[in-house]
Amino acid sequence: MVDISNTILGKIVERKKEEFAERLKQRSYADLEQLARAATPARGFAQALHNKRPAVIAEIKKASPSKGIIRENFDPAEIAQQYEAAGAACLSVLTDVDFFQGADENIQIARSHCNLPALRKDFLIDPYGVVEARALHADCVLLIVSCLSDQQLQEMSETAFEHHLDVLVEVHDENELERALNLSERCILGVNNRNLKTFEVDLNNSLRLKNLLPPSRLLVTESGIATPEDVRMMQEHDIHSFLVGESFMKQARPDHAFRDLFGHIDA
């Protein structure tokens, strides 16, 4: 595993360990399982990505550790509706409180105001968080390879599939991709173009790692997609799924920003 101890990601993971202990005191695993089983049926996240070209995972995010407040006028319901009308395939909803000013209820709010499947965007470190995602009505969970051991990745992805969740596995480099490829082929692979230590963005990261994949594997490019030229470059290299957040959230009308970047996509 990459040493993330001196990065913002390392700080987030340390806080997540404390948060996990706190949540376990508030609600047992058994009680959480009951809530997850009673949640509304999952909407197929991976299938939604397969069904569209381009397939955009549009992010609902109020703030970030590097940028602070990104969106003052933050209404998850309105943003979700705008994204759906603009042609998004899926939503990504931040639930981390301390670093991104997210909230668990934002998934339910966003999802109840549209028909799109939603990713719980958080820094999960235990199967508890996976089951919790389903209890929150999420349709997919994010597993970040640099934060997790191989055993954690295996256990958490299996827990997700048992609860009818899809899994987006995020990698940053060749070593992490190799680890991710040991997981089920049902996992969606996400390549983050942002360097964990420098925060610099290099879109070639997605192109490089795409070349190491079998053509059939679904790959999502994450971070740094800012212009129609960026989108075209990815499509020319057979990458058709995108996770975009900040460039939408900074604009008064996220739906207009969406169309400026991707053109017209049938909703």
CB 217 within 8 A of CB 191: no
Percent of the chain beyond pLDDT 70?
99
Query: Is residue 127's pLDDT more than 70?
Result: yes
Query: Is residue 16's pLDDT more than 90?
Result: yes
Percent of the chain beyond pLDDT 90?
90
Helix, coil or strand: residue 242: strand
All domains of the chain, ordered by start, with CATH? 8-262 (3.20.20.70)
**Chain mean pLDDT for the chain:** 96
Q: What's residue 134's pLDDT?
A: 99
Helix, coil or strand: residue 104: coil
Tens digit of pLDDT for each residue in 169-183? Answer: 999 999 999 999 999
Tens digit of pLDDT for each residue in 187-230? Answer: 999 999 998 777 789 999 999 999 999 888 999 999 999 999 99
Q: How far is residue 171's CA from residue 178's CA, in Å, rounded to a whole number?
A: 9
Q: What's residue 1's pLDDT?
A: 63
Identity of residue 35 = L
Q: What's residue 2's pLDDT?
A: 64
Tens digit of pLDDT for each residue in 244-267? Answer: 999 999 999 999 999 999 998 887
Q: Provide the CA 219 distance to its chain's centre, in angstroms.
A: 13
CB 4 within 8 A of CB 10: yes
Phi/psi for 162 (5° steps) reads -60, -30
Q: How far is residue 29's CA from residue 44's CA, in Å, rounded to a whole number?
A: 25
Q: Provide the CA 229 distance to its chain's centre, in angstroms.
A: 23
Nearest to 92 by CA among 48, 34, 135, 52: 48
Quote the crossing angle between the two packed helices 76-86 and 254-262, to the nearest 10°.
30
Tens digit of pLDDT for each residue in 132-180? Answer: 999 999 999 999 999 999 999 999 999 999 999 999 999 999 999 999 9
Query: Is residue 7's pLDDT more than 80?
Result: yes
Q: What's residue 8's pLDDT?
A: 85
Q: What's residue 12's pLDDT?
A: 94
Helix (H) or strand (E) holding 45, with range, is helix 45-50
Helix, coil or strand: residue 75: coil
CB 137 within 8 A of CB 157: no
Q: How far is residue 265's CA from residue 267's CA, in Å, rounded to a whole number?
A: 6
Q: What's residue 218's pLDDT?
A: 93
Q: What's residue 216's pLDDT?
A: 87
For the chain, what is the radius of gyration of the CA atoms?
17
Query: Is residue 28's pLDDT more than 80?
Result: yes
Name, in order, each residue with C-beta under 8 angstroms of 78's C-beta and a sequence gap of 6 or more.
113
